[in-house]
Amino acid sequence: MAEGLRERKKRETKQRISDIATGLFLEHGFVTVTIAEIADAADVSVNTVYNYFPAKEDLFLDRMEGVTLRLSRMIRGRDRGESAAHAVLREMRGQIGAVSPAYGLMDGFDAFMNVIEHAPTLKARLFYLQQQVHDAVVATLREETGAAEDDPLPLLVGGQIAWIENTAVGYITREMTAGRKATTVSRETLVLLDEIEELLSARVLTYAVRG
């Protein structure tokens, strides 16, 4: 369905507020910048900012909603004869091999993470998002396999699948914030994914194969 004029204007306003807020956070730090200063810079009211972003953390991590469901989308999109873990490894190899900004392989990622490093509430939000990723993976595995609520396998396998991405992202974050080149970090992370796959058991690698 085509986007209406009102919806487009709301989307553009939300994006403009987010972009301005991010610029202020990168320049001055997350803790010191106030919602009032963001509203003034964006030429909107404080209430307008809160209408789009219920919490200050939402202004800086507004694109994380897609990240929390990323692994679930990979699992749901697995090929015929492919397991959940293999689908995730395939998709991650493709994106990381392509030096995708979605995994932090971009200029300026170190500045982004520096803001988070000095903001305890942002760190807490990231930890919560990691839990959301895990919960979404487990729920997806239960749905895709038809597992009962008391079946522990979706929980156990889901934890391993979430660990794959968490480990790779942690490595990328550490290396990119150290000032290394994205292309180099990309190649090294692909090697890391191979090593991760070798550590996973056959039970994990063959779970939730699409028939």
> What's the pLDDT at 53?
94
Contact 102, 95 (CB under 8 A): yes
* pTM, entire model: 0.87
Report, as ranges of residue numbers, the positions in the chain whose pLDDT lies below 50.
none
CA Rg value for the chain: 19
* CB burial string 168-199: b at 16+ within 10 A, e below: bbeebbebbbeeeebeebbeebeebbeebeee
Structure tokens at 205: 């690698």
The distance in angstroms from the start CA to the end CA of the chain is: 33
Q: Which strand (E) or helix (H) includes residue 132?
A: helix 120-145
> What's the pLDDT at 1?
56
Nearest-angstrom CA–CA distance, 79 and 86 = 10
> What's the pLDDT at 48?
96
DSSP letter string, 75-97: HHTPPTT--HHHHHHHHHHHHHH
Name the 3-class secondary structure at 196: helix
The phi and psi torsions of 199 (rounded to 5 degrees) equal -80, -20
How many other C-beta atoms lie within 10 A of the C-beta of residue 165? Answer: 24
> What's the pLDDT at 3?
65
How many other C-beta atoms lie within 10 A of the C-beta of residue 56? Answer: 21
CA distances to 28, 39, 144 from 157, rounded to whole Å, are 42, 44, 13
